[in-house]
Amino acid sequence: MNSIKVISLAHLCKQLKTIWGQRLVPARPCSMVTCTQINKNAALHPLWQSELSVSGGTRQSPINIQWRDSVYDPHLKPLKIHYDPTTCLYIWNNGYSFQVEFDDSADKSVIMGGPLENHYRLKQFHFHWGAINEWGSEHMVDSKVYPAELHLVHWNPVTSTSFEDAVMENNGLVVIGVFLKLGAHHAGLQKLVDALPAVRHKDAIVEFDVFDPSCLMPSCPDYWTYDGSLTTPPLTESVTWIIKKTPIEVDQNQLEEFRMLLFTSAGEEEKRMVDNFRPLQPLMNRTVRSSFRNHHLLNIETRPSELAHQHSP
């Protein structure tokens, strides 16, 4: 980032009047047992005091990905990512996360391949995280939860004329999910972390230019994919999810900077921005496909036959 400067909210309010900021309604409190116990008698932020529901919804997100039940699909292609760092615009605190917005007026920052039939444009990315490291991600893998989860949100410019239209279209969106785990310092993330104090309060906005979010991708190409929904209002079932198998590492100090953000505006009683994730939703009749073979299960399944062969006369 060449510089960080505070931008007038009034100057950008027209740009920010999208469903991500203007259609917020209360979301569910944390449903994890440990989280529920800790927060049982605590005052929750208004965004998480009521339940979210979609009448008749059959493909809601997030879900618990069961490794054993996922189906290897040999037709899934490698995901191709091309992000133009100059399309990065600004960071803003929207009251439930911090969001990094991109110029999506042309095919400059796009993804293709994977389970997709055409390219999708990057609109924004944001994170979900917990108050402590024992929870925070929205998706789980075999009931394992991570401290945080990155979501990169893309829309289909072939079938829709705008992001807002794509939100309402079947498979109009693609969201790449990346798990964050505690480990080594992440140099690429640090540039973003350094900007967070400027957007500590709700509705704060700062310019954030020349950033390539591909630095936040794990090197392993493996992923799961399934049909799902947005995890924030309006919860439309318009999302093709691509969940990366391998998490990226971040250090404790970087996670703590996330937790220093606030749900509240300047002048209001401060409420820390933590546990900003939606509870798990039922898989129902959906299939989770994987781009990789489950070698661990293959080894388990072949071991008995190998042992029988070794003991045969």
Domain contains 171: yes
Q: Give the number of other CB atoms < 10 A from CB of residue 157.
A: 19
Q: How far apart are CA 130 and CA 87, in angstroms?
A: 29
Domain contains 1: no
Domain contains 131: yes
User: Tell me: the pLDDT tens digits for 4-17?
Assistant: 444 444 344 444 34
Q: Which domain holds residue 94?
A: 9-19+59-311
Domain contains 41: no
Count the domains in the chain. 1
**CB of 180 within 8 A of CB of 146?**
yes
Domain contains 286: yes
Q: How far apart are CA 213 and CA 83, in angstroms?
A: 7
- Supply the CATH number for residue 69's domain: 3.10.200.10
Residue type at position 232: T
- Give the CA radius of gyration of the chain: 20
Look-up of token digits 């969001």: 99
Local structure of 228: helix, strand or coil: strand
Q: How far apart are CA 53 and CA 301, in angstroms?
A: 40
Q: How far apart are CA 2 and CA 6, in angstroms?
A: 14
Strands (E) across the chain are located at: 64-65, 71-72, 79-82, 88-93, 98-102, 110-113, 120-129, 140-141, 148-155, 173-182, 205-207, 223-228, 239-244, 248-250, 289-290
What is the percentage of the chain residues whose pLDDT exceeds 90?
75
User: Tell me: the pLDDT tens digits for 184-217?
Assistant: 999 999 999 999 999 999 999 999 999 999 999 9
Domain contains 30: no
pTM of this structure: 0.82
